[in-house]
Chains A and B, each alone.
Chain A
Amino acid sequence: MIKTIVSTELPVDEQFRIRKNVIHHGREGLRFCVVTGTHGDELEGQMVCYELSRIMNEHPEQLVGTLEIYPSLNPLGIDTIQRGIPNFDLDMNRIFPGDPQGTMAEQTAHAIIEDIKGADMVIDIHSSNLYLRETPQVRINVQDAEWLVPFAEHLGTDFVWVHDAATVLEATLAHSLNSTDTPCLVVEMGVGQRINHKMCHRLVGGILHLMKHMGMWRGEVPALIQQPIVCKGDSVTFLNAETSGVFLTELKCGITVTKGQTIGQIVDPLRGRVLSTVISPVNGYLFTIRAYPIVYEGSLMARIFNSEELV
Chain B
Amino acid sequence: MREETIFEMTSPCRDSFRIRGYRFGEGAKTLAIVGAMRGDEVQQQYICAQLVNRLGFIEHHGGIDKGKSILVIPSCNPFSMNVSRRFWAMDNTDINRMFPGYASGETTQRIAAAVFEALNGFEYGIQLASYYVPGDFVPHIRMLKTGYEDVETARLFGMRYVTVYPPRPFDTTLLNYNWQLWNTKAFSLYAGKTSQVDLKAGDENVDAILRMMSRTGIITTYSAGSAYESVLIDESTLQHIKARHAGILLRLVDVGSRVHPGQSLAHIIHPYNGQILSDVKTTKEGTVFFAHNRPVVLQNALLFMIHT
Contact = CB atoms under 8 A, between A and B. Distances in A.
A102 B298 CA distance: 13
Contacts of A240: 104-106
Nearest to A175: B169
Contact of B94 (A89, A296, A297, A298): A89
A10 B109 CA distance: 35
B110 interface: yes
A84 B86 CA distance: 13
Interface stretch (A27-35, A42-50, A165-173, A213-221): A165-173
B132 to A, nearest CB: 4
Contacts of A84: 92
B269 to A, nearest CB: 10
A167 B172 contact: yes
A87 B134 contact: yes
Interface in A85-126: 87-90, 94-95, 101-104, 107
A102 B240 CA distance: 9
A1 interface: no
A103 B301 contact: yes
B245 interface: yes
B107 A299 contact: yes
Given A13-B272, A103-B133, A296 B9 contact: yes
Nearest to A129: B91
A299 B9 CA distance: 12
Contact of B10 (A94, A168, A244, A300): A244
Given A90-B132, A95-B170, A297 B299 contact: no
A131 interface: yes
A103 B297 CA distance: 12
B10 A297 contact: yes
Name the interface size band of chain A. 35 or more
A168 B91 CA distance: 19
Nearest to A130: B91
Contact of B106 (A13, A16, A300): A300
A107 B248 contact: no
Contact of A11 (B10, B170, B246): B246
Interface in A231-252: 238, 240, 243-246
B11 interface: yes
A13 B110 contact: no
Nearest to A12: B271
User: Which of B107, B109, B134 has the most chain A CB atoms closer than 10 A to its own CB?
Assistant: B107
B300 interface: yes
Interface of B is mostly: loop
Interface residues of B, number: 40
A309 interface: no
Nearest to A16: B298
B169 A171 contact: yes
Contacts of B168: 171
B83 interface: no
B170 A90 contact: yes
A83 B93 CA distance: 11
Contacts of B106: 240, 298-300
B44 to A, nearest CB: 15
B12 A245 contact: yes
A90 B296 CA distance: 20
A185 to B, nearest CB: 21
Contact of B11 (A90, A296, A298, A300): A296
Contacts of A246: 12
Contacts of A294: 12-13, 90
Contacts of B299: 8-10, 104
A265 B91 CA distance: 20
Contacts of A177: none
Nearest to A300: B106
Contacts of B300: 8, 104, 107
A89 B133 CA distance: 7
A2 B108 CA distance: 41
Contacts of A101: 240
B80 interface: no
Contacts of B108: 298
A11 B247 contact: yes
Interface in B120-148: 132-134
A302 interface: no
Complex A-B, nearest 6 residue pairs according to Cβ-Cβ distance, in ascending order: A9-B246, A11-B296, A9-B299, A89-B132, A298-B107, A171-B169
Given A12-B271, A104-B299, A299-B90, 19 more contacts: A8-B298, A9-B245, A10-B299, A12-B247, A13-B271, A83-B92, A87-B294, A89-B132, A90-B170, A94-B170, A167-B172, A168-B170, A240-B104, A244-B9, A244-B10, A295-B12, A296-B90, A297-B110, A298-B110
